[in-house]
Amino acid sequence: MAAAVIDGKAFAQGLRGRVADAAARFQAETGRAPGLAVVLVGEDPASSVYVRSKGKACQEAGMTSIEHRLAETTTQAELIALVEALNADPNVDGILVQLPLPKQIDDKAVIAAIDPAKDVDGFHVVNAGRLAVGEDALVPCTPLGCLMLLKDQMGDLSGKDAVVIGRSNIVGKPMAQLLLGESCTVTIAHSRTKDLPAVVRRADIVVAAVGRPEMVKADWIKPGAVVIDVGINRIEAGESKTRLVGDVAYDEAAAIASAITPVPGGVGPMTIAVLLRNTVVAARARLGLGAEAGL
């Protein structure tokens, strides 16, 4: 039987609607909209597109978007000075510094300078630590989006065997922590994992966050497993065209899995929706307002 297609685009649209409602309530309560500052250093075309779409999504949700575009030659001290000014700005609830940064700037030093209460990307070690010990944290957007899709599809995840392929700080590690928090039995696989197909075959839940086009094959998947494909890979598609594929060989895996996210239209749209959600959550928490249901 063919797998159910997990429609991340539709789920993200619903979440953005709930965020817009929450932003309107925040405005009514406080007299201002939640504010997200996005900082872009340099002219990287992909980053520029991301920053523009984040700003647009913010405005569509009734939130204030503050964009800072800095020259490629910006120094680390200049960037940290801007981050500190944004930390001190009472109208800024979330700060996102678009990665990657030019080579003269150390990502870690910049992330460490962000006020953890405004760290809507969830990359600050304080938020990573809070997630690890099970305290309230701002959680990286992509893995939190994956968890939302999984819970929507499967309900209670407790006791499920989950395999996360990839151990980056942005996706793999926080994904594993979130699944552990849902009482899954979690395995984190990576480039040194022995017999990866056999490891993946144990899983009720597979999250692939590798960056290798169509690496996960049908015969790696346990029949009935739920597959979340985080990968975004552009491959040649003939006649000098390209197309996007995930880390999972979609067509063949969809014949074995019970549910699967497509690429595009699965995890991708969740990332910005969760960024907006994290900004409203950060705004309410900073002002000591209660949490919103449904976010």
Question: Active-site residue numbers?
Answer: 54, 98, 121
Distance separating alpha carbons of residues 228 and 53, to the nearest angstrom: 23
Site size for ligand NDP, by CB under 6 A? 25
**213 touching ligand NDP, by CB under 6 A:** no
Between 83 and 267, CB nearer to ligand NDP: 267
**171 touching ligand NDP, by CB under 6 A:** yes
**Contact window for ligand NDP (CB under 6 A) among 28-36, 43-51, 106-114, 168-176:** 168-176
**271 touching ligand NDP, by CB under 6 A:** yes
CB atoms within 10 A of CB 56: 12
The correct pick among 25, 62, 233, 265 for binding ligand NDP (CB under 6 A) is: 233
Smallest distance from ligand NDP to CB 60, Å: 18
**242 touching ligand NDP, by CB under 6 A:** no
For β-strands 233-236 and 185-189, DSSP reports them as: unpaired
Q: 88 Cβ partners below 8 Å, 6+ apart?
A: none
Between 125 and 285, CB nearer to ligand NDP: 125
| Phi, psi values for residue 187, rounded to 5° | -115, 130
The correct pick among 103, 192, 194, 241 for binding ligand NDP (CB under 6 A) is: 192
Distance separating alpha carbons of residues 268 and 141, to the nearest angstrom: 10
Burial class (CB in 10 A: 0-12, 13-18, 19+), 130: middle
Between 30 and 191, CB nearer to ligand NDP: 191
The correct pick among 58, 120, 170, 206 for binding ligand NDP (CB under 6 A) is: 170
Q: Establish whether the linkage from the previous residue to 264 is cis, with ω within 30° of 0.
A: yes
Between 201 and 212, CB nearer to ligand NDP: 212
Distance separating alpha carbons of residues 189 and 211, to the nearest angstrom: 14
**40 touching ligand NDP, by CB under 6 A:** no
**Are 126 and 94 contacting, i.e. CB atoms less than 8 angstroms apart?**
no
Smallest distance from ligand NDP to CB 191, Å: 3
**167 touching ligand NDP, by CB under 6 A:** yes
For the chain, state the CA radius of gyration: 19
Between 26 and 94, CB nearer to ligand NDP: 94
The correct pick among 211, 218, 252, 292 for binding ligand NDP (CB under 6 A) is: 211
**191 touching ligand NDP, by CB under 6 A:** yes
**Contact window for ligand NDP (CB under 6 A) among 29-37, 96-104, 184-192, 287-295:** 184-192
Between 15 and 33, CB nearer to ligand NDP: 15
Give the interface with ligand NDP as residue ranges (CB under 6 A): 142, 165-168, 170-172, 189-193, 196, 209-212, 230-233, 267-268, 271
